[in-house]
């Protein structure tokens, strides 16, 4: 078990083509479309040790797969390299888990040289009822060499990794209690407007709506409307100048600079408040 984020998931529903164009214009290099064994499809933006996943359902698969969550951020995923042992540990801590053990997942993958292979994973999901408007799970990569590939890790916006994943909630400590249950007592820290959890180089925050608006320099009504859900993502970049250049080249509307960050509104990032800060 680790406290490091493996990846985050953005629900783009049946708008994979729109999401692909949107995130390319934001300056990301995205992988070719992958198709999971469970019927969903995705594009990834691969960073140093983590990644961003645009997940959706192609119309032809709408009858067998769905993402029953609002559009935008829906998935916080932690790393594991020992799924069976982790399952036992989480069960002993009475974390509400889905199913009766780690679940297999796979997707075909085409490499730059045209070689076909299969990326394989084992996942442990927390029961959906315990996570507001999204998912929390753990991922064991059985074939990490098929995900973290150099040809996918260079981005026009110079992004290097995940800095911050933010939930909006009127009751931060209550909503974040699931992480304390999973990782042990004392992992949550109080701050103005909520609590936070350190996840390696990244930080997971649970904040009230007004605190999020102040942090990202936006109006409270720009924060996605649900009372409890993940709404904001901050990424590390080597250069804010590279971010500015990428956003201008992509003709991305509405972005601004605030609190030493470049912030893209949810209307320009598939319902995600997306920010960039220098590492």
Alpha carbon distance 245, 157 (integer Å): 8
* Residues in Cβ contact with 99 at an 8 Å cutoff, skipping those fewer than 6 apart: 125
pLDDT in tens, 240-254: 999 999 999 999 999
Which distant-in-sequence residues (6+ apart) come within 8 Å of 8 by Cβ?
A: 50, 52, 53, 73, 75, 76, 77, 162, 165, 233
- Among 200, 1, 212, CA closest to 89: 1
**Which strands make up the sheet holding 261-264, listed edge to edge?**
188-191, 194-199, 202-207, 159-168, 229-237, 273-278, 261-264, 256-258
Q: Which residues pair with 105 in a beta bridge?
A: 121
Task: Tell me the sheet residues that pair with 264.
Answer: 274
Of the candidates 170, 163, 96, the one whose C-alpha atom is nearest the C-alpha of residue 129 is 96
Name the nearest CA neighbour of 42 among 26, 23, 25. 23
Task: Identify the band that residue 114 occupies on the pLDDT scale cut at 50, 70 and 90.
Answer: confident
CB 139 within 8 A of CB 102: no
User: Residue 150 gets which letter from DSSP?
Assistant: G
Helix (H, G, I), strand (E, B) or coil at 242: helix
pLDDT digit string (tens) for 196-233? 999 989 999 999 999 999 999 999 999 988 889 999 99
Mean pLDDT, residues 72-88 taken together: 96
Pairing of strands 194-199, 202-207: antiparallel
Q: Helix or strand or coil: residue 107?
A: strand
pLDDT class of 1 with cuts at 50, 70, 90: low
- Residue 39: pLDDT band (50, 70, 90) is confident
**Can you list the domains of the chain with their CATH numbers?**
5-150 (3.10.180.10), 159-278 (3.10.180.10)
CA 246, CA 204: separation in Å to the nearest integer?
Answer: 26
Give the pLDDT of residue 65: 67
Which residue spans within 126-181 are E strands per DSSP? Answer: 135-141, 159-168
Q: Please report which confidence band the pLDDT of residue 132 belongs to, taking 50, 70 and 90 as the band edges.
A: confident
Residue 99: is it exposed, middle or buried by C-beta count within 10 angstroms (0-12/13-18/19+)?
exposed
């Amino acid at each position: 078990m680790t406290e490091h984020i493996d990846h985050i998931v953005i629900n783009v529903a049946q708008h994979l083509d729109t999401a692909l164009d949107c995130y390319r214009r934001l300056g990301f290099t995205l992988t070719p479309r992958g198709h999971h064994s469970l019927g969903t499809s995705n594009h990834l933006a691969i960073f140093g040790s983590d990644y961003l996943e645009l997940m959706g359902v192609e119309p032809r698969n709408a009858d067998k797969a769905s993402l029953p969550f609002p559009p935008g951020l829906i998935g916080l995923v932690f790393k594991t390299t020992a799924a069976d042992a982790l399952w036992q540990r989480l069960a002993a801590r009475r974390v509400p888990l889905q199913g009766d053990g780690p679940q297999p997942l796979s997707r075909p993958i085409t490499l730059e040289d045209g070689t076909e292979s299969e990326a394989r994973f084992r996942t442990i999901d927390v029961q959906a009822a315990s996570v507001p408007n999204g998912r929390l799970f753990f991922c064991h990569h059985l074939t990490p060499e098929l995900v973290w590939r150099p040809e996918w890790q260079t981005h026009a916006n110079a992004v290097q990794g995940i800095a911050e994943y933010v939930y909006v909630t009127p009751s931060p400590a209550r909503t974040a209690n699931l992480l304390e249950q999973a990782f042990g007592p004392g992992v949550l820290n109080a701050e103005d407007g909520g609590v936070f959890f350190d996840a390696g180089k990244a930080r997971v925050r649970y904040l009230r709506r007004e605190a999020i608006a102040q942090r990202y320099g936006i109006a409270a009504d720009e924060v996605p409307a649900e009372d409890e859900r993940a709404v904001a993502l901050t990424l590390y970049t080597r250069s804010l100048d590279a971010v500015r250049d990428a956003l201008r080249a992509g003709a991305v509307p509405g972005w601004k600079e605030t609190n030493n960050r470049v912030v893209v509104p949810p209307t320009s990032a598939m319902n995600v408040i997306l920010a960039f800060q220098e590492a």
